[in-house]
Chains A and B, each alone.
Chain A
Amino acid sequence: MAQKEKKGVRLDHISKIYQDPKTHQNFYAVKDVSIDIEPGAFITLLGPSGCGKTTTLRMIAGFESPDEGEIYLGGEPINALTPNKRDTAMVFQSYALFPHYNVFDNVAYGLKLRKVPKAEIEKRVTDILKLVELSGMEARMTNQLSGGQQQRVALARALVVEPGVLLFDEPLSNLDAKLRVQMRTEIRRIQQILGITAIYVTHDQSEAMSISDQIILMKGGVIAQMGSPMDIYYHPNSEFVADFIGECNFLKGTVAGVEDDSVTLEVAGHRVKTAAAKAGVGEEREIVLRPEAIQIGREGLLPCKVELSCFMGSYQNYHVRVGDTLVKIADNCPLNKEIFQVGEDAWISFDKACAHLL
């Protein structure tokens, strides 16, 4: 397929103000968001509902207008352009397929608007349907398709016009869990083949991590953290980020010493080391620990008491009490390991590289 030039997207201090319908007070739905998206990148706007991610996406598509700042698409400011004049294509949560058209006409809609010659429309639609594995379904009406197939039609319809940037508004939330996993790999695969710039909105952190080059985590209209999935997972910059991306434990402690390659803290009367970080001796800090990064055993760094022990298949799930803090542990491959029972005393330990200091 002939490739159009990829376009980057830049949001320059974007804000959106809404009025509360009851109190008539203005509030920021999106506040001072600046993002620079490389051409061909797959980035995800992630956050709880009401964090401003969908509003941001709709501002890029042109359905909403920013109150402050400017949006650039391929270097051009597009604030004043209507959605139909923007080189974007969106995949909607509800798919938004045209129920009065069949699959072929749905996909061909954007091409017809662009006055593409009929023969070329035919070819491009056929090609794109092949890519999303819907060949042979051209004549079907959309209500004769399964949810996953409808999703593919929506994707094909957006892809076929070769937009500068592809927008996804929680496209998988109407699918069942298994299909969701399958479709997200599919979307990633197609995006990689075409090398198209994509902005993806979701509230599902595992979806975000598996699919994107970069995650932008939002909260209350502002960016909480921006970075690669691994970066955000292991080096969250706040309790909110740590907690939102996967399960997390927070151990409170006092900094006892700062070394080049580690920081020593005193937690519940015991000394533990974390990965290197900026810290001052005597500060009260928190250690972020992922459940799968903690080991439980007869000896270790910190003593604990088991409060819950539960077999989950791929891991043994423990809730243990360290001092006053509840710590969740996911102990992988429990088959050959000692299983601790509720009420037993034990020790936990962890590698300092996995312990991130907040």
Chain B
Amino acid sequence: MAGKQSASLERKKLFGDPVLIITIVLLILFLSLFILYPLANLLVDSVQVKATALYSVSPLVSGEKIVYYREDGSEALNDSDPVYVLLSSPVEGLEDKLFPLYRTTGLFASQAQKKDTAGPLYLKVVNNKDRTVYVNVADLLTVQDTPLTYKQNNRLIKKMDGVDPSEVCVQFNADTWTLDAFPRIFQDYTFNHALRNTLLLGMITGLGSLLIGLLFAYVDVYVHIRSAFTRKLFDVVSMLPVVSPPFVLSLSMILLFGRSGLLTRQILGIYDSDIYGLWGIAIVQTMTFFPVVYLMLKGLLKNIDPSMEEAARDMGASRWKVFMTVTLPLMLPGLGNAFLVTFIESVADFANPMIIGGSYDTLATTIYLRITGGTYDINGASAMTVVLLVLTLALFMIQKYVLEKKTAATLSGKASRARMLIEDKSVRYPLSVFCIMVSVFVVLMYIAVPFGALFKLWGRDYSLSFKWFEQMFREGGWKAFGDSFILSLIASPITALLSMIISYLVVKRKFHGKGFIEFVSMLAMAVPGTVLGVGYIRGFAGGVFRTGFLQGIYGTGLILVIVFVVRSLPVGTRSGISALRQIDKSIEESAYDLGAGSGKVFTSVTLPLIKDSFFSGLVTTFVRSITAISAVILLVTPRYLLITCRINEYAEKGEFGVACAYATVLILITYTAILIMNGVIRRFGTSREIKE
């Protein structure tokens, strides 16, 4: 009986801790309902063809003796169980079919499967709300105003009065399960194209970001940078993508290089410049994502022990040779990791292809257009989201479970001492000049946005005016800022707390279902916003499992808040987990031992110790939420105006002045939020005194 007693004792102890058990149950429910369920629903949608078939109930209501059958088609007495009747359909091409009649004396017909040979007979049908219900055969004649769909000659009838019962039909579920949608969408030109576009774009963006990010990291760690200005520039560049909404660069790209672009038309005099398309998106995405690579690789390079490279140098290798034979091979898993992270970001990116993509459609935009564009091919659209989901999930799995582990294995050591920085001018100048140029370019692109909002008419009249801001505030600007601000503000404490609780449970506690919580909360990281958005539409528009449960949240601000929470949860959880791993387990154990219950341990010990992580989670969620677009654009209703959706709208219409005005205010909001966060952490943060 190995482990049996301890397992049961652990269970008892768990149940002796109501706070813990309730938290776990609620958490699992939340994660299942808002992450797993919508995704699973999409899977089902992609393989299930929804259909209903009409069958005439005349044999049951004609008043003549009903002929009962067994399942195999032989005749049966009506007391055998279950008993079948043969119904035929008025629709051509549908064969006669045996339908089971259920019996029950239970209060609810839905309990009909509980056998009771004496009870009345029930027929299982689909009602007009698409739900399966059981209807008493005896009621078929007398039912008034029922929720059932009775049809006569395919016309819906509400009441049975004056209708010839023999002509009445009921609807039956005729769902079929098929994988047809997949071959179909793969032959679909638009989709096929979009898939190839997405992969190609991902490759280019991934490689581009990798190259530039690597150069920045190398220069930062290896090359002696003399000027404080360059240092500052590097810091700014690495912080920008955090602060800015994801599509700001697209806007400035159009402003600078578009048809009436400042650089192309005004300075270079090119009038037919076309930046819409693959290269436009690729450049914008590269500029957006390379700082992430830069930060990742910087951390790795710092971990390489300089004496390894010095040994190689000492044995006669040139600097280039050292880089190629020592540094690069050591970093290879890390590079692969960074590449995949960018690749996934690029594949999941919605806003940039939307604004600057032109006719270059990616999976995310194609799905968006399919869903919003009227052709409501549920199977097809669901199958597309499934393809997108599988693609990102596969990449995510490789990244997380293969490359991240390998990276940790090869480069987990600490540098034994400081590195001799490269002073050699022939190396230093070209590299730093390149990096400075890229940085200046990026900064310039960000600066273009506020000016885009301040110039009277971009491309024609470069005098300053507030007219775009005025238009913005006239056309619902205040409401958009209010809605975005409030919804994000509600989402951030929820997310921060939730992610800290998840981190605590994952790092510090042992219980069944822990693997589930960890996996699902990380899963949300790999799910593109578009997929989540579609999943929510399909999953909640008719309520959970189309039962109407939680239908009320669809189209409200609540579902937007939930999307914000789900989208930011993995980020917060990851930072919480790494913060908690640094805290000795026995600190919490000692509180537990001194008499504190789980809730008390969490609030009095754990949370104060990871205060910093909590604060930054708070602000990160706020910033991510207020700049989010891919999922919410599918779910937002006219009741709420969101800044990001407005920017997209105006950019679509070509009114870049207003779009820039929105983006400018948005950047100001996020930047302020981050300033406040840094201030708070500096003022109240505990980690410094703890770490020392």
Nearest Cβ distance between residue A201 and chain B, in whole angstroms? 13
Whether A65 pairs with B10 at a CB distance below 8 angstroms is yes
Whether A84 pairs with B6 at a CB distance below 8 angstroms is no
Contact A67:B3 (CB < 8 A) given known A114-B595, A143-B690:
yes
Our pick among A80, A83, A161 for the contact of B589 (Cβ within 8 Å) is A83
Our pick among A90, A113, A141 for the contact of B596 (Cβ within 8 Å) is A113
Our pick among A66, A90, A109, A143 for the contact of B5 (Cβ within 8 Å) is A66
Contacts of A313 in B (CB 8 A): none
Contact A66:B9 (CB < 8 A) given known A26-B2, A81-B16, A100-B608:
yes
Q: Which B residues, 593 to 610, have Cβ-Cβ distances below 8 Å to chain A?
A: 593-597, 600, 604-605, 608-609
Q: Interface-forming stretch among A56-64, A224-232, A239-247, A272-280?
A: A56-64
Question: For the complex, what is the distance from the CA of A276 to the CA of B2, rounded to whole Å?
Answer: 44
Count of A-B contacts judged by CB separation below 8 Å: 108
* B424 on interface, CB distance cutoff 8 Å: no
Question: For the complex, what is the distance from the CA of A98 to the CA of B584, rounded to whole Å?
Answer: 10
Contacts of A81 in B (CB 8 A): 13, 16
* B591 on interface, CB distance cutoff 8 Å: yes
Question: For the complex, what is the distance from the CA of A321 to the CA of B87, rounded to whole Å?
Answer: 104
* B190 on interface, CB distance cutoff 8 Å: no
* A234 on interface, CB distance cutoff 8 Å: no
* A88 on interface, CB distance cutoff 8 Å: yes
Q: Which of A85, A98, A143, A161 has the largest count of B CB atoms less than 10 A from its CB?
A: A98
* B461 on interface, CB distance cutoff 8 Å: no
Nearest Cβ distance between residue B553 and chain A, in whole angstroms? 36
Whether B9 pairs with A99 at a CB distance below 8 angstroms is no
Whether B594 pairs with A80 at a CB distance below 8 angstroms is no
Contact A84:B593 (CB < 8 A) given known A17-B3, A65-B13, A94-B584:
yes
* A316 on interface, CB distance cutoff 8 Å: no
* B142 on interface, CB distance cutoff 8 Å: no
Whether B591 pairs with A98 at a CB distance below 8 angstroms is yes
Whether B590 pairs with A16 at a CB distance below 8 angstroms is no
Contacts of B609 in A (CB 8 A): 99-100
Closest Cβ neighbor of A28 among chain B residues = B2
Q: Which B residues, 555 to 611, have Cβ-Cβ distances below 8 Å to chain A?
A: 584, 586-587, 589-597, 600, 604-605, 608-609
Contacts of A7 in B (CB 8 A): none
Whether A19 pairs with B3 at a CB distance below 8 angstroms is yes
Whether B3 pairs with A100 at a CB distance below 8 angstroms is no
Nearest Cβ distance between residue A308 and chain B, in whole angstroms? 39
Contacts of A17 in B (CB 8 A): 2-3, 6
Contacts of B12 in A (CB 8 A): 80
Our pick among B591, B593, B605 for the contact of A88 (Cβ within 8 Å) is B593
* B65 on interface, CB distance cutoff 8 Å: no
Closest Cβ neighbor of B4 among chain A residues = A67
Closest Cβ neighbor of A26 among chain B residues = B2
Whether B5 pairs with A68 at a CB distance below 8 angstroms is yes
Our pick among A68, A79, A93, A99 for the contact of B689 (Cβ within 8 Å) is A99
Contact A80:B3 (CB < 8 A) given known A99-B690, A141-B689:
no
Contacts of B584 in A (CB 8 A): 94, 96
Nearest Cβ distance between residue B52 and chain A, in whole angstroms? 51
Contact A64:B6 (CB < 8 A) given known A83-B589, A90-B590, A96-B584:
yes
Whether B17 pairs with A82 at a CB distance below 8 angstroms is yes
Whether B692 pairs with A96 at a CB distance below 8 angstroms is no
* B686 on interface, CB distance cutoff 8 Å: yes
Contact A109:B690 (CB < 8 A) given known A17-B3, A67-B2, A80-B16:
no
Q: Which of B2, B6, B17, B593 has the largest count of A CB atoms less than 10 A from its CB?
A: B593
Contacts of B586 in A (CB 8 A): 92-94, 96
Closest Cβ neighbor of A90 among chain B residues = B593
Whether B596 pairs with A65 at a CB distance below 8 angstroms is no
Q: Which B residues, 657 to 692, have Cβ-Cβ distances below 8 Å to chain A?
A: 686, 689-690, 692
Contacts of B590 in A (CB 8 A): 90, 92, 96, 154, 157
Whether A96 pairs with B587 at a CB distance below 8 angstroms is yes
Contacts of B10 in A (CB 8 A): 65
Question: For the complex, what is the distance from the CA of A17 to the CA of B6, rounded to whole Å?
Answer: 9
27 contacts between A and B (CB under 8 A): A17-B3, A26-B3, A61-B593, A63-B589, A64-B6, A65-B10, A66-B5, A66-B6, A66-B9, A68-B1, A68-B5, A82-B17, A84-B597, A89-B593, A90-B589, A93-B586, A94-B586, A96-B586, A96-B590, A98-B591, A99-B609, A99-B686, A100-B605, A109-B594, A109-B596, A113-B596, A114-B595
Taking Cβ atoms with an 8 Å cutoff, the residues of A that contact B are 16-17, 19, 26, 61-68, 79-86, 88-90, 92-94, 96-100, 109-110, 113-114, 141, 143, 154, 157-158, 161
8 closest Cβ pairs, A-B complex: A65-B9, A110-B594, A96-B586, A65-B6, A96-B590, A99-B690, A92-B586, A80-B12
